[in-house]
């Protein structure tokens, strides 16, 4: 145990030398002096201790690629605005969640985490530390969602939600008329001629593609829609995003870790994932584009234009909820995000 501790300390000292004392090829820059371990703060796991610090990376992320160390996921390096460094033992930071998985009997999830590699496991233990029991059980029951998170989690997290408010309908309407883009005029007219949404439907959306011509697809929010019937390009996101929503409903905070820039009000009002009008209308246009041989993947979502109008005057040209923002990312939204 003592040898392992000394080994860890030696590697940490080496890492700090790498971070702070590496020579730069630019002679105008002076290498920073080496900071011995005694002068580097050891952060505890509580939020107060972490406040003001940003994570530079784990040893594997920051150092291993450069120096060939094969396994050491125990240490992360942090830095604050003043440039002071700190370190934190990730194995200890994740131990609470690992204990929770064991107490809940989530052996499938535990096994899956052991299989995804130490860097990904460390990242999971950090991002899912505040997950509800419901979310963890859902991941245990469908461990392929860990593969989805590993492949797409950073993409979703790095795509910042615009957090736009609802926009006055007349503002968007006048912009469309002024711009006079034929496809937007067509969608506007279709929505204004459509039956207004009921109280339970909340919103109506029109979707259209110039690649097809023809009629505008009109859809309403539908709480009874089976989201498994969505096209693969959309349905692939549903289970993962629904875990984030269900976790919030169960008192968890995954939305803060797995989304970016999503305020409490937006996640509260987001509702069931995948049943909003803009998703359903987009889905129908995707089907038509596929039939016409003009849709080959998510990159073709930019062939679709969508306009959303809420029932209430205050809703106006509605913005997308955080879930819809990611499900139909790539679609050209008219007026509002």
Phi, psi of 76 (to 5 degrees): -120, 145
Asked if the structure places residue 163 within a domain, the reply is no
b/e 193-206 (16+ beta carbons within 10 angstroms → b): ebeebeeebbbbbb
Choose the final residue of a domain: 103, 137, 158: 158
Which of 22-31, 132-141, 201-210, 307-316 shows the lowest per-residue confidence on average (mean pLDDT)? 22-31
What are 120-131's pLDDT values in tens digits?
A: 888 898 899 889
Q: What is the reported pLDDT for 122?
A: 83
pLDDT band with cut points at 50, 70 and 90 for residue 92: very low
Q: Are residues 246 and 146 in the same domain?
A: no
Q: Are residues 75 and 107 in the same domain?
A: no
Whether 107 and 100 have beta carbons less than 8 Å apart is answered as no
Asked if the structure places residue 239 within a domain, the reply is yes
Q: Are residues 11 and 115 in the same domain?
A: no
Asked if the structure places residue 72 within a domain, the reply is yes
Phi, psi of 45 (to 5 degrees): -90, -10
Q: For residue 71, count other CB atoms closer than 10 A to its CB.
A: 11
pLDDT band with cut points at 50, 70 and 90 for residue 99: confident
What are 285-324's pLDDT values in tens digits?
A: 999 999 999 999 999 999 999 999 999 888 999 999 999 9
Whether 210 and 232 have beta carbons less than 8 Å apart is answered as no
Which of 79-93, 142-156, 178-192, 196-210 shows the lowest per-residue confidence on average (mean pLDDT)? 79-93
Asked if the structure places residue 164 within a domain, the reply is no
Q: What is the reported pLDDT for 197?
A: 95
Q: List all residues 6 or more positions away from 132 whose beta carbon is below 8 Å from its beta carbon.
A: 246, 247, 250, 251, 252, 254
- Domain count within the chain: 3
Per the DSSP assignment, residues forming a β-bridge with 79 are 54, 85
Report the SS3 class of residue 55: strand
Longest distance between any two alpha carbons in the chain, whole Å: 77
Q: Are residues 184 and 108 in the same domain?
A: no
Phi, psi of 317 (to 5 degrees): -80, 100
Q: What is the reported pLDDT for 314?
A: 84
Structure tokens at 141: 């029951």
Q: Are residues 211 and 282 in the same domain?
A: yes
**What is the average per-residue pLDDT within 7-14?**
51
Q: What is the reported pLDDT for 249?
A: 95
Q: Are residues 325 and 189 in the same domain?
A: yes
Q: What is the reported pLDDT for 94?
A: 54
Q: Are residues 195 and 287 in the same domain?
A: yes
Q: Are residues 178 and 314 in the same domain?
A: yes
- pTM flag (> 0.75): no
For residue 120, the enclosing domain spans 94-158
Q: For residue 63, count other CB atoms closer than 10 A to its CB.
A: 22
Choose the final residue of a domain: 135, 158, 181: 158
Nearest of 229, 249, 239, 255 to residue 139 by alpha carbon:
239
Q: Are residues 100 and 236 in the same domain?
A: no
Terminal CA-CA length for the chain: 55
What are 180-226's pLDDT values in tens digits?
A: 999 999 999 999 999 999 999 999 999 999 999 999 999 999 999 99
Nearest of 253, 271, 250 to residue 322 by alpha carbon:
271
Q: Are residues 148 and 175 in the same domain?
A: no
Q: What is the reported pLDDT for 164?
A: 86
Q: What is the reported pLDDT for 172?
A: 95
Q: Are residues 311 and 297 in the same domain?
A: yes
Q: What is the reported pLDDT for 244?
A: 97
Choose the final residue of a domain: 62, 91, 120: 91
Residue with tokens 């029991």: 133
Q: Where are the alpha helices (DSSP H) in the chain?
A: 2-21, 47-50, 59, 65-67, 90-103, 107-115, 118-127, 133-141, 144-158, 169-179, 182-193, 232-235, 238-249, 254-258, 264-269, 277-291, 322-327
Q: Are residues 322 and 183 in the same domain?
A: yes
Q: What is the CA radius of gyration of the chain?
A: 25
In percent, the amount of the chain with pLDDT more than 90 equals 63
Whether 248 and 148 have beta carbons less than 8 Å apart is answered as no
pLDDT band with cut points at 50, 70 and 90 for residue 47: low
Nearest of 222, 195, 208 to residue 306 by alpha carbon:
208
Q: For residue 120, count other CB atoms closer than 10 A to its CB.
A: 17
**Helices 107-115 & 144-158, crossing angle to 10 degrees?**
60
């Amino acid at each position: 145990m003592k040898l392992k501790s000394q080994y860890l300390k030696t590697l940490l000292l080496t890492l700090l030398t790498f971070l702070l004392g590496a020579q730069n090829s630019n002679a105008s820059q002076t290498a920073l002096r080496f900071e011995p371990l005694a002068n580097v703060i050891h952060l505890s796991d509580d939020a107060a201790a972490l406040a003001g610090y940003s994570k530079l990376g784990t040893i594997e992320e920051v150092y291993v690629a450069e120096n060939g160390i094969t396994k050491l996921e125990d240490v992360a390096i942090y830095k604050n605005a003043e440039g002071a460094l700190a370190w934190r033992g990730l194995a200890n930071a994740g131990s609470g969640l690992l204990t929770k998985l064991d107490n809940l009997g989530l052996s499938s999830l535990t096994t899956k985490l052991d299989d995804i590699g130490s860097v990904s496991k460390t990242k999971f233990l950090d991002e899912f530390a505040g997950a509800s029991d419901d979310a963890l059980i859902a991941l245990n029951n469908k461990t392929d969602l860990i593969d989805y998170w590993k492949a797409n989690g950073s993409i979703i997290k790095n795509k910042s939600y615009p957090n736009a408010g609802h926009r006055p309908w007349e503002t968007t309407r006048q912009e469309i008329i002024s711009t006079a883009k034929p496809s937007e005029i067509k969608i506007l007219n279709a929505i204004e001629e459509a039956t207004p949404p009921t109280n339970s439907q909340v919103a109506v959306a029109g979707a259209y593609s110039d690649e097809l011509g023809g009629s505008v697809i009109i859809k309403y929010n539908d709480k009874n829609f089976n989201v498994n019937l969505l096209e693969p390009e959309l349905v692939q996101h549903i289970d993962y995003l629904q875990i984030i929503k269900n976790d919030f409903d169960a008192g968890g905070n995954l939305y803060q870790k797995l989304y970016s820039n999503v305020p409490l009000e937006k996640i509260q009002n987001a509702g069931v994932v995948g049943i909003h009008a803009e998703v359903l209308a987009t889905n129908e246009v995707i089907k038509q584009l596929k039939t016409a041989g003009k849709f080959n993947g998510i990159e073709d979502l930019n062939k679709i234009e969508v306009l959303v109008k809420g029932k209430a005057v205050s809703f106006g040209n509605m913005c997308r909820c955080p879930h819809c923002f990611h499900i139909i990312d790539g679609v050209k939204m008219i007026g509002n995000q």
